Amino acid sequence: MIRVYLLAVFAFWSCQGAVESPMSFEEQEQVVSIDSAMHYLNVVDKSILSPKGYTRAAIHFAAQDSLIKTKAEYLMKAGLTCMNQEGEYRLYGVNYLILLSNKFPQDEYAPQALLQLALFFDNVLGDSERAIEFLRALIHRYPESVLREDAEGLLNLMSVSETGEIEQVRQWLNTK
């Protein structure tokens, strides 16, 4: 008897029409995208993203730009993630880190953002002048930061590189 009752209840529920969501399709997509962006913000901490994962994460971060811009932590994670992928979202990462350093200058991530920007401009974009500007900003704005010493070392190394002394040392080593 109980089986018949359960079967009848199951049949009743399965025959009912689909329940309409109170949200429009666009609103539902927005919620899914926010959930995806938050998922990738959590995954970034675990360092388990593949190269394709960085690109998928960057797509969600760009789609949820207004969410990413609400916290320094989000800007840092999204910025580094976008800069680590090979696609069209690299400049989003640059913009996120610049925004972080300007919008949240007292946050612990601000000096890190400037250092990452300097490294990216020097190593990836080949723009040493801009990299030097970021290093000088870090040294000037955050004299007590633990990253100041690293910034000064990189600044000295880049200055030596610009004078050609490193190239002379390389040539000397190659002839030996």
Q: Looking at the whole model, is its pTM more than 0.85? A: no
- So what's the pLDDT on residue 141? 96
Contact 118, 138 (CB under 8 A): yes
CB atoms within 10 A of CB 85: 21
How many Å apart are CA 64 and CA 41, to the nearest integer?
Answer: 11
**Domain assignment of residue 59, yes or no:** yes
Instruction: Decide which of 42, 72, 104 is a domain's last residue.
Output: 104
- So what's the pLDDT on residue 68? 93
Return the closest-CA partner of residue 40 out of 67, 1, 18, 21.
67
**Domain assignment of residue 56, yes or no:** yes
Banded model confidence at residue 165, pLDDT cuts 50, 70, 90: low
Report which residue type is found at 166. Answer: I
Banded model confidence at residue 162, pLDDT cuts 50, 70, 90: low
Q: How many angstroms separate the Cα of 112 from the Cα of each of 69, 78, 98, 133?
A: 17, 14, 11, 14
Report which residue type is found at 145. Answer: S
Banded model confidence at residue 5, pLDDT cuts 50, 70, 90: low
Query: What is the overall mean pLDDT for the chain?
Result: 80
When pLDDT is averaged across residues 148-167 and rounded to a whole number, the result is 77
Same domain, 116 and 166: yes
3-state SS record for the chain: CHHHHHHHHHHHHHHCCCCCCCCCHHHHHHHHHHHHHHHHHHHHHHCCCCHHHHHHHHHHHHHCHHHHCCCHHHHHHHHHHHHHCCCCCHHHHHHHHHHHHHHCCCCCHHHHHHHHHHHHHHHCCCCHHHHHHHHHHHHHHCCCCCCHHHHHHHHHHHHHHHHCHHHHHHHHHHHC
Instruction: Decide which of 50, 79, 104 is a domain's last residue.
Output: 104
Q: How many domains does the chain have?
A: 2
Same domain, 84 and 140: no
How many Å apart are CA 151 and CA 134, to the nearest integer?
Answer: 9
**Domain assignment of residue 131, yes or no:** yes
Same domain, 35 and 99: yes
**Domain assignment of residue 23, yes or no:** no
- List all residues 6 or more positions away from 161 whose beta carbon is below 8 Å from its beta carbon: 128, 167
Residue span of the structural domain in which 142 resides: 108-176
